[in-house]
């Protein structure tokens, strides 16, 4: 189970037979000390008729260093904890981004699932407070970090995990006509024996953070250097890989794979809004990067 808890304290359907190869996407690497110079326009997008608000930082075109996103989450959790202690309204937050290549491990995960010497790792390795075993984050993978006040929804960790899975299942079905499912006893989203989305969370005083990672156009080779999520007998897959498999003998529908990240990000935010009954308010990058100053 990928949980580490401390409870005391219709998007258009995607053409399913693309035939052109993936083209490099334009991505910016944004170290924390440089981000504050970037300007962003703050605007509100109507995503759901519900009256509960969720601020959204849509950074899906960016390659964000893992430590920066981790710091952002911890500061936001601290802010929300303060609001709750003062009996003030505590809305939800959503961050969507891509990471520079990195391996992350849960608080109790084992180095036996690393197929390399941790002193000579191919990428940075972080042990975090989330639950679960080792996983990989990198370009082409959309990582979604909801910082959710479960008091606004349902104070049930298993319910929350299933709802995160539901978001991804809906994205794959409505946008790509891919039928995904859960596997009993395992956390995440699967298509056959391929795991497309990994989920790992931390919950403290009923505020959940960390979240899910969905492989879109991800280079899957770095997963070969670990045992993803500690599961040895199953594969890791991607949306791009499944679309290529389904169209291996087809010649219709030309599509540029570089659009996959944009399409998937929009669908993730929309389905997140629907599943959690939230009205999404887009926030600027500048608004977010001011938060770590209080660390």
Specify whether 229 is catalytic.
yes
Nearest Cα to Cα of residue 14 among 225, 256, 279: 256
Spot the catalytic one: 17, 90, 229, 247: 229
- Taking the C-alpha atoms of residue 190 and residue 236, their distance in angstroms, rounded to an integer, is 9
Phi, psi for 72 (deg, rounded to 5)? -55, -45
Rg over CA atoms, the chain? 18
Q: Which residue has the tokens 């897959």?
A: 237
Phi, psi for 176 (deg, rounded to 5)? -125, 0
Q: Report yes or no: 171 and 268 within 8 Å, Cβ to Cβ.
A: yes
Burial class of residue 295, CB neighbours in 10 A (0-12, 13-18, 19+): exposed
Active site residues: 229
């Amino acid at each position: 189970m990928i949980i580490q808890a401390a409870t005391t304290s219709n998007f258009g359907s995607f053409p399913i037979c693309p035939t052109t190869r993936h083209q490099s996407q334009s991505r910016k690497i944004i170290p924390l000390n440089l981000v504050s110079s970037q300007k962003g326009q703050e605007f509100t997008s109507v995503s759901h008729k519900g009256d509960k608000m969720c601020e959204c930082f849509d950074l899906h075109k960016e390659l964000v260093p893992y430590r920066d996103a981790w710091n952002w989450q911890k500061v936001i959790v601290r802010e929300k904890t303060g609001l709750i202690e003062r009996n003030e309204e505590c809305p939800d937050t959503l961050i969507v981004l891509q990471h520079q290549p990195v391996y992350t491990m849960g608080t109790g995960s084992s180095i036996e699932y690393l197929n390399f010497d941790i002193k000579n790792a191919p990428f940075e390795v972080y042990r975090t407070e989330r639950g679960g075993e080792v996983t990989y984050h990198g370009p082409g993978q959309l990582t979604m970090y909801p910082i959710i006040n479960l008091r606004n929804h349902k104070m049930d960790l298993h319910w929350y995990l299933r709802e995160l899975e539901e978001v991804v299942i809906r994205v794959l079905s409505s946008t790509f006509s891919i039928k995904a499912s859960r596997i009993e006893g395992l956390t995440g989203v699967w298509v056959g024996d391929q795991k497309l989305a990994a989920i790992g969370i931390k919950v403290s005083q009923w505020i959940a953070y960390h979240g899910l990672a969905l492989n879109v156009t991800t280079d899957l080779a770095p997963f070969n250097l670990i045992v993803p999520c500690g599961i040895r007998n199953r594969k890791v897959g991607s949306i791009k890989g499944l679309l290529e498999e389904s169209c291996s003998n087809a010649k219709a529908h030309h599509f540029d794979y570089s659009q996959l990240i944009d399409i998937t990000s929009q669908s993730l935010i929309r389905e997140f809004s629907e599943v959690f009954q939230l009205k999404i308010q887009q926030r600027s990058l500048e608004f977010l990067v001011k938060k770590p100053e209080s660390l």
